[in-house]
A and B are shown apart, each in its own frame.
Chain A
Amino acid sequence: MVDWDLAVRIFAFGLFAVFCSLGILIGAIYAFGKALKPSEKGQ
C-alpha cells in the first residue's frame, strides 16, 4: 500500500527544494558578481 501522503510531500518538497536552492544560487551569483565588480575594476 503506497503512502500517497508521503509521496505528495516528497514531490512538493523536492520541487520546492530544487527551485529554492537554485533560486538562491542565482541571487548569490548576481550578488557576488556585483560585489566583485568594483574591486576588479580597481585592479
Chain B
Amino acid sequence: MLDLLVTTGVIHLTIGNLVMWLIAFLFIYLAITKNYEPLLLVPIGFGILVVNLPLTFLMREGQGLLWKFYHYGLEWEVIPPLIFLGLGALTDFGPMIANPKTLILGAGAQFGVYVSFFGALFLGFNIPEACSIGIIGGADGPTTIYTTVHLAPHLLGATAVAAYSYMSLVPIIQPLIMRLLTTESERKIRMRQLRPVSKREKILFPLVTVLVICLIVPASAPLMAMFMLGNLFKECGVVKRLSDAAANELMNIVTILLGISVGATMSAENFLKPQVIFVFIMGLVAFAFSTAAGIMLAKFMNLFAKEKINPLIGSAGVSAVPMAARVSQVIGAKADPQNFLLMHAMGPNVAGVIGTVVAAGVFLALAG
C-alpha cells in the first residue's frame, strides 16, 4: 500500500505547490469572472496548475511536454515573433500615418521602461534582469516575454504575468494618473478630424518601417519584421487568406502555446521568491511612469504646436492595444461627451508597440 502511495503525487505535494495552485485558481477565476486577459490567463493558470503537480515531470528537460513547448516555442524564439505576425495583421496604422506627430508620444511612453530599469538595478537586480523588468513598462506581453527569455529566463513567469496583469488593469491604473496630470480644460481639447489615408501609404508604411527600424536596431528584427509582414499581409489586399490565418488561426494556436509555456515556468521553486514581489512592484512603477511620460510629453508638445494635442492621448503611448486608446476616449468623453479621441489615441497606441520593440532591441543588443 505504501509503495503504491509513493508512486502517486499526493505524498510529494509541498506547501509551495498548494500556494501555486491557489495562484492558478486565482488567474482562472479572474479570467472567467472578471474577463481579465482571459485568452492568456486561462492557459497560464492551467499551466501553473499542472506544472505544480508532483511527479508529472512536465518541465523535465528534454522530456516533459511543456518543456518542449517552452524550449522550442520560447527559447527558440518562435512564438513571440508569430504573435507579432498576428498583431501586424490586426493593426491599422492609418490613424498614426494620418497624424505622424503621435509617433513621438509612443516614444515618450518608453520613459517608464528606463525608470524601472534603474529602479530594478537599485533593488539589486543585475543588468539583464533589470532590462527584463523595465520592458514591462512598454505594456507589451510578447516583447516582455521575448526579452526575458533572452536575458533573464528565470524571471519569465513573473515578468510575463506582471505585463499581462498590468495590461488588463489599464482601465484602473491609467485614469488616476491621467486625471492627476491634466486639467479639465486640457481634457476638453478637441482635435481635428484625421485625414483619410490612402492604400498606397498603408502598403508603403510596413516596408519603410522594417527598413528604418531594423537598420537602426538590428536586434529588434525578429519582432519588427514579423509585425510588419503581418501588416503588409493585411494592407496589400492580395493575400487575404494569409492575413486571416495570421490574425485568427495562427494567432490562436500560438496564444495557447505561449500561455501554457509561461505558466509552465511558474513552478513553486521558481516563483515563490521575494524577487518576484519586486518584479511586480517595479513593473507597476514602469507602467505608471510610461503613462505619465506620454501625457507630459503631449503637454510639452502643446507649448510649440499650432494645433493642440489632447494630452489624454499621450497615455495611450503604452502599447496595450487598443485598451489604452479606449481609456483615453472614455476619460476625454467624461470631460466633453462630444469629444471623440479614440482614433487620435490609436496613433500613439500603435506607435508605442514600435517604440517598445526598439527599446527591447537595444536591451538585447547591449545586455544580451
Determine whether the beta carbon of B101 is less than 8 Å from that of A21: no
Tell me the smallest distance from the CB of A32 to a CB of chain B, in Å: 5
Residues of chain A contacted by B118 (CB below 8 angstroms): 7, 11
A13 near B97 with CB under 8 A, answer no
Q: Among B54-62, B272-280, B298-306, B353-361, which stretch is in contact with chain A?
A: B353-361
Contacts of A28 in B (CB 8 A): 208, 212
**Minimum CB distance partner of B104 in chain A:** A22
On whether A10 and B117 interact (CB within 8 A), knowing A18-B110, A19-B107, A24-B216, the answer reads yes
Q: Which residues of A contact B366 (CB under 8 A)?
A: 6, 9-10, 13-14
Min CB distance B211 to A, Å, is 9
Q: How far is the CA of A32 from the CA of B204 in the complex (A)?
A: 8
Residues of B within 8 A of A6 (CB): 127, 366-367
A11 / chain B contacts, CB cutoff of 8 Å: 114, 117-118
Instruction: Choose among A7, A17, A36 the residue that contacts B362 (Cβ–Cβ < 8 A).
Output: A17
Assess the B127–A21 pair: CB atoms within 8 A: no
Chain A residue contacts of B107, Cβ below 8 A: 18-19, 22-23
Contact status B126-A2, CB under 8 Å: yes
Q: How far is the CA of A2 from the CA of B225 in the complex (A)?
A: 33
Across the interface, which residues of B come within 8 angstroms of A7, CB to CB?
117-118, 121, 127, 130
**Hey, which chain A residues are within 8 Å of B354, CB to CB?**
21-22, 25
State whether A32 touches B208 (Cβ < 8 A): yes
- Size category of the A interface is 20 to 34
B103 at the interface (CB under 8 A from A): yes
Q: Distance in Å from the Cβ of A35 to the closest Cβ of chain B?
A: 9
Could you say which residues of chain B place their CB within 8 Å of the CB of A24?
A: 212, 216
B49 CB, nearest partner CB in chain A, Å = 37
B residues near A2, Cβ cutoff 8 Å:
121, 126-127
B312 within 8 A of A: no
State whether A21 touches B204 (Cβ < 8 A): no
Give bound CA distance, A23 to B358, whole Å. Answer: 13
**Cα(A26)–Cα(B204), bound, Å:** 13
Identify which of B104, B111, B126 contacts A26 (C-beta below 8 A): B104
Please measure, in the bound complex, the distance between the C-alpha atom of A19 and the C-alpha atom of B106, giving whole angstroms: 9
**Binary interface profile of A, 15-42, with partner B (CB < 8 Å = 1, else 0)?**
1011111111110111011001001100
| Residues of chain A with a CB closer than 8 A to B121's CB | 2, 7
B105-128 CB contacts (< 8 Å) to partner A: 106-107, 110-111, 113-114, 117-118, 121, 126-127
Given A10-B362, A14-B359, A24-B216, A29 and B100 contact (CB-CB distance below 8 Å): yes
Contact B117 A18 (CB under 8 A): no
Q: What are 28 A-B residue pairs whose CB atoms fall within 8 Å in the complex?
A: A2-B127, A3-B127, A6-B127, A7-B117, A9-B366, A10-B366, A14-B113, A14-B363, A15-B114, A17-B217, A17-B358, A18-B355, A20-B216, A21-B213, A22-B104, A22-B354, A23-B107, A25-B100, A25-B209, A25-B212, A26-B101, A29-B201, A29-B205, A30-B100, A32-B201, A33-B97, A36-B201, A40-B198
